Each structure stands twice: as C-alpha cells, then as structure tokens.
C-alpha cells in the first residue's frame, strides 16, 4: 500500500519507514531524519537503515500532543 493512500493510522505497517514518518507528520525529509536522531524518538537503526515500530511511534506522537 502506498504511503499516500493510508487514511487510518492502524492501516500502517507494523514497522514504519522514514517516508511513512515524513508523510504522516507532513514534514520535509530532513526534518523526519532529524527526529530519528533524537533520544526520545523510537527509531531502530539497522546499519544505515532507520525503522520505527508503529505502536511506539503512535505513543511518541501522543506524548508530543500532550
């Protein structure tokens, strides 16, 4: 499923790419990668690849809104 066709956050895959993060937050690519390097952001690094568990991202997003 293309990132642009997702309308419900629960439709997202269990593990998100930085493209997903960029699209969901409506930010530039650089901003998404800057977030991934923050200590409080739930990013997982696999070599140079960055992935984000969906549930951890949604919890992080809730905390940001509080």
Domain ranges of the chain: 13-65
What is the predicted pLDDT for the residue at 2?
57
β-bridge mates for residue 50, sequence order: 45
The residues near 41 (Cβ < 8 Å, ≥ 6 apart) are 35, 52, 60
In the predicted model, residues of the chain with pLDDT beneath 50 are none
13-65 classified as CATH 1.25.40: no
Ramachandran sector of residue 53 (left: φ over 0; alpha: ψ -120 to 50; beta: rest): beta
pLDDT single digits (tens) 6-16: 667 778 899 99
- CA distance from start to end of the chain: 30
What are the backbone angles phi and psi of residue 51, rounded to the nearest 5°? -130, 155
Report whether 50 contacts 36 (CB < 8 A).
yes
């Amino acid at each position: 499923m293309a990132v642009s066709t997702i309308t419900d956050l629960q439709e997202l895959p269990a593990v998100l790419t930085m493209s997903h993060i960029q699209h969901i937050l409506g930010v530039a690519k650089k901003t998404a990668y800057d977030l991934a390097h923050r200590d409080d952001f739930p990013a997982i690094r696999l070599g140079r690849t960055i992935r984000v568990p969906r549930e951890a991202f949604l919890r992080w997003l809730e905390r940001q809104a509080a």
